[in-house]
Amino acid sequence: MKHNVKAPSVGESISEVSILKWTKKEGQAVKTGDLILEIESDKATVEIVAEATGRLSILQPEGARVPVGEVIGMIDDAAQGTAEAAAPAAKASAVASVKAPAMSAPAESMGPAARKALAESGLSASQVSGTGKDGRITKGDVFAAATAPAVSSVSAAHTAGVSAPLSRSASLPTREGDRRVPMSNLRARIAERLVQAQHTAAILTTFNEVDMSAIMAVRSQHKDSFKAKHGVGLSFMSFFTRASVEALRLIPEVNAAVDGRDIVYHDYYDIGIAVGTDRGLVVPVVRNAGTMGFVEIEKRIGELAVKARDGKLSIPDMSGGTFTISNGGTYGSLLSTPILNPPQSGILGMHKIQERPVAVNGKVEIRPMMYLALSYDHRLIDGKGAVTFLVHLKDFLENPEKLKLDF
C-alpha cells in the first residue's frame, strides 16, 4: 500500500509552503516516526515525520513551492527501500504525465516543478546547470538559465541597433552579472506584511533619547551574579521589555489594535522581539510579559533566540503579539523608523548606544545615549499618547529602580 506524504497545514491563512530540505533520499527505507523533510511556511520551519514504514518516493524537489494538501511524496509499505538512494524509477513514472520538450538530461534530474518551468521556458535540460543535490535541476536553476539568454540577446540586438524581447520569465531588464532566484515563502510574506502595514495604517514615528548610564551601572554591578545564580545573562532587552510593559500600562492605546470600526484593548502584554536571521526577520513573542520578572524574561528571550537561530520557531511562537521591540542597534543603526507589525498599533525601535555630549544640570557631560523611536498607528494613537509613551519609557529606563529589580 502506498501512503501519501502531503504538504501539511501549518496555520490559518497559509495556503502554500516550500520544501526546505528532504532529510531522506529517493528510494531510501524509512520507518514510522523518522524525520523525512522540513517544510518552510511564511512563519516557521516545520519538521515532517514518516507515518508509515517502507520505501520513500520523492515527488517534489527541495525548493518547490506547493499548495497545502498536495502530495509531495509517497511511502510504499510493500516495497523494500535501500539504506542509500535507490534508482528513482518510481519517481520517473510518477512524473511521466508531465509533458516536457525533448531533453538530453535524464528524466530523474529534476522534479515536477522544475520540469514544468523548463517546459514553459522553451529551454532543454542540456541548457540548464543543476545546482541541487547530486546535480538535480531545480526550478530556480531553470529561472536563472531562462534569463541568461535574454541578456546576450539584448546585448546582440543593441549592437545591431534593433530591439529584442526579454525572456517570458523576466519582468525587469537584466544584464550579465544578474541572478534571478525565487523569493522564499518567508521573505515573500515579510514583503506582503510590510506593504499591508503601509496600506492599512496611518504610520507616524516620534523620537526621544535615553541616557543609558543608570542601566549600564546596574547591569555592570549584577551581571556576573545574575548569570551565576540563574544561568542566563542580564541583557538590555529585559530592561526594555519591562519598561515597555510599564509604559503600556499607562498608555493602553499603544497596546491596542484597530479592528474595523472597533478598538481592541489588550489587558495583557505579549511582547514581540524582532530577530534577524539568515532567512529573514522573524518576531517571536514573549507571552504574558507583564507577569514576568527579569529572570523569566531573559530565559524566555534566550529560548526563542536559540530557536530562531536554528530555524525551529513554531507557529505558536510567532503568533499574536500586542507590541513589538526591534533592536537595530545590534547592527549599528543610530536612528531609524521601524514599521508596524500588523495588526499591532505600536513598535519600539532601539538603537546603538553612543557616547555624546549632553547638558546635565547646566554642565556638559559625556553620556552613553540611545535614540528611541516609536512608530504608531495614528488612526488609534494621537501624537500626545505616542510622545507621552516615550516620555514614560525614558523615565523607567533612566530610573531602573522603578522596574522592581528582582534579581
Q: What is the rounded average pLDDT of the residues 44-58?
A: 88
Pairing state between β 45-49 and 262-264: unpaired
Q: Is the confidence at residue 117, as pLDDT, over 50?
A: yes
35-49 b/e (C-beta count within 10 Å ≥ 16 → b) = ebbbbbbbbbbbebe
Cα 373–chain centre separation: 22
pLDDT for the residue numbered 16: 82
Straight-line distance from the first to the last Cα atom of the chain, in angstroms, rounded to the nearest whole number: 60
Q: Chain-wide mean pLDDT for the chain?
A: 82
Residues of the chain with pLDDT > 90, as a percent, come to 53
Report the pLDDT value the prediction gives residue 120, as an integer from 0 to 100. Answer: 60
Q: Which residues face 49 on adjacent strands?
A: 35
State the angle between helix axes of 213-230 and 383-398 in degrees (0 to 180), rounded to the nearest 10: 60
pLDDT confidence bin for 88, thresholds 50/70/90: very low
Q: Which residues contact 35 (CB under 8 A, 6 or more apart)?
A: 23, 24, 47, 48, 49
CB within 8 A of 315, min separation 6: which ones?
A: 10, 11, 41, 43, 44, 46
Question: How high is the pLDDT of residue 175?
Answer: 84
Highest mean pLDDT among 183-187, 197-201, 243-247: 243-247
Q: Which domains does the chain have, with CATH numbers?
A: 2-94 (2.40.50.100), 104-182 (no CATH), 187-403 (3.30.559.10)
Residue 65 phi, psi (nearest 5): -100, 130
Sign of CA dihedral 164, 167, 171, 173: negative
Tell me what pLDDT residue 380 has: 96
Catalytic residues: 378, 382
Rg (CA), the chain: 27
At residue 68, the pLDDT reads: 87
> What is the per-residue pLDDT for 85?
44
3-state secondary structure of 55: strand
For the stretch 396-407, pLDDT in tens is 999 999 998 988
Residues 11-40 pLDDT 10s: 555 778 889 899 999 999 999 989 999 888
The verdict on pTM exceeding 0.75 is: no
Residue 344: pLDDT over 90:
yes
More confident call, 77 vs 250: 250
Q: How far is CA 356 from the centre of its chain?
A: 35
Q: Which residue has the cell 514615528?
A: 205
pLDDT of residue 47: 82
Contacts (Cβ under 8 Å, ≥6 apart) of 406: 293, 294, 295
Average pLDDT for 204-210: 98
Greatest alpha-carbon pair distance for the chain in Å reads 85
CB count in 10 Å sphere of residue 80: 10
- Between 208 and 190, where is the model more confident? 208
Query: Which segments of 7-127 are extended strands (E)?
Result: 16-22, 29-30, 35-40, 45-49, 54-58, 65-67, 71-76
**pLDDT score at 116:** 65
